[in-house]
Structure 1
């Protein structure tokens, strides 16, 4: 054999030294009383060779050597009772789960809600299997729990879209428990944000502000993308609570961060999948909550352009509701109905009961304000009843 030719002994020596073990120490740990340090020396020098794949798997597990170093697969045909218990294979599984979480958030922006729901259900089924049959190795438990928290977050989003609001709160509470258990600021911040958003939806404005301020405090220890997302929703809560100065500070902070990060940001590291168009939409919403409809309308071109750049189908469907509310506030009822109808048509593509309910609520508000006899209002009301 040539002196510089590759053999398994070189790999074993490299990882043994990486562990800080001597040959006698390795011999004691690797089949005690059967493997001598002299045998290990001959293996490492290439004088002897290990041809038994089961022996290679043993030393791989002992020295934490990736199986590919020996030309082996993570799949062991001689031990298939619980292949998921391999640390390396489990790590690969979590990488797949991370990819699925990212893809599900992408679907949330571009696909009808039933498609998103299917993806979330697949993730829930995977974690149900893991919990029952394949709990993670200790050193992967933190990453496993971070991902499990994100599945709770996605499940909460599905509950909101299906108008199961109490269940959404329960998922965010479970997410918070996980985040606090592993002391992960990002998970804690996003859980508090979810709770704050739901309390704002319920009309409990001060509770919403309290939760979102807790979320903001956590972002001092997170990626800036998380701070951008949280400050956007905190601004929303401030506006709903009629705190105009705090609204401006929070939304200005979010937009400044977004400007520095670019049009799109967020990753599996922080799970803050957000865009500049989202920040701008929260500013528009805040202006409406504060009664400044004209400021919202003045943003229309900027927001429309940003939505197009971000390819955000979900926000593209929702934004006409802002224009409908703004025109209603300025007394331009026919324009308001036109935008409400556009919102309704786009909501049909999303197939979200929550979104439908908002279109119905907008029409009802216009009718209750005394405009039920306006021709455009009557026509749209008849159209909705025919659906």
Structure 2
């Protein structure tokens, strides 16, 4: 049987134990009056006649206690400007949410953590309202689910920056469950990638590789943007596992694909990918360190600095000196390593990211553990960090997440 509004009207009438005759007496007229024949009610309920006047349909919903969304109407009534815009504004609200999510990702590149957190909090409130007020069909809509998955991803990123790594992993797994439920390749690939990245952070290399390879495989169903970012992160985890050949293949695939695209260099947000070309180069730089090729990392210095400046990415500008610090340390160039480490720490402070700052402490601990604690520049680095606060919590986290 084909669905029509009469089905909903009949079901509502029967649930109220109301007869067709009783409803006929109360039936609203467009003219403002009430009353129709019982035959008319019967014809409407059987789909032989249709209600075309929205005011009549609204008044009928009020009599029968029918939620407006069940008959394709919204809580918003054009004749009453004081009503709340419900499903009528659904598309507009989700478009606004999508725009805010993309702006928040852009904030992530150019502003400190405080501003990113504020934007994410605003989005959380918006989606809390949507989940509470929107009818079930809206909450199950694929577009809503995709956007909500991206909000989980943003929240997880904030968790990472605040060193809440377990909570971040949990949110990425929630994102993955949503992606699997709607079978959305881009969201699925990104969720696998993020889970793999967190597992790498925990030192679980084999699991990390498995998830990153799943992300790469899903990227073939998605877009080139997804292919670039998943290959870049897969290269990272291959390098962390010491698989040099696979690292080189994956990072070269990411770079070739990125260079074949006019709009990848600036992370335009296609499929919610904001990992621009400087980010791909940064994964290459990091990978060279992990496979013990520090000279290759230093050879990339000018190229990465130029690309970061072109994109205005202050987060990557803050992080990349850590690569140089590690490279100089591997080469026994301790003064240069400390100088790069100090640059990294000072920029990390401006980001307001405990996660970033903790890596400066880790760098110093590594320098000292390799026997350079008596060098004057190293002592000065130690004094500077000691004056910044207690390291105990940071050391504990380093023990739990060794990468």
TM-score using structure 1 length: 0.80
Closer, same or farther: CA 366–190 of 1 in aligned 2, 3 Å = same
Structure 2 partner of 1:107: 107
Structure 1 partner of 2:214: 214
Structure 2 partner of 1:29: 50
Structure 1, gaps ≥5 residues long: 1-25, 36-52, 68-73
Structure 2, gaps ≥5 residues long: 1-46, 60-68, 389-403
Structure 1 partner of 2:146: 146
Matched, 1:347 2:354: no
Distance (Å, rounded) in 1 between the aligned partners of 2:379 and 2:324: 20
Structure 2 partner of 1:121: 121
Structure 2 partner of 1:257: 257
Structure 2 partner of 1:313: 314
Structure 2 partner of 1:16: none
Structure 1 partner of 2:63: none
Structure 2 partner of 1:371: 372
Distance (Å, rounded) in 1 between the aligned partners of 2:78 and 2:163: 46
Q: Which moved more, 1:116-125 or 1:142-151?
A: 116-125
CA drift at 1:265 = 3.3
Aligned 8 A contact 2:319 2:344 in 1: yes
Kindly provide the CA deviation profile for residues 110-169 of structure 1, in whole angstroms up to 9, marking residues without a partner as x.
Answer: 111011011111111111111112246459811000000000000110000000000001
Residue correspondences, number: 332
Distance (Å, rounded) in 1 between the aligned partners of 2:98 and 2:365: 42
Structure 1 partner of 2:223: 223
Structure 2 partner of 1:386: 387
Secondary structure of 1:233's partner? Answer: helix
Secondary structure of 1:344's partner? Answer: helix
TM-score using structure 2 length: 0.77
Q: CA RMSD in A?
A: 2.6
Aligned 8 A contact 2:149 2:175 in 1: yes
Closer, same or farther: CA 130–366 of 1 in aligned 2, 3 Å = same
- Aligned positions of 1:237-256 closer than 5 A: 237-256=237-256
Distance (Å, rounded) in 2 between the aligned partners of 1:139 and 1:351: 35
Closer, same or farther: CA 139–175 of 1 in aligned 2, 3 Å = closer
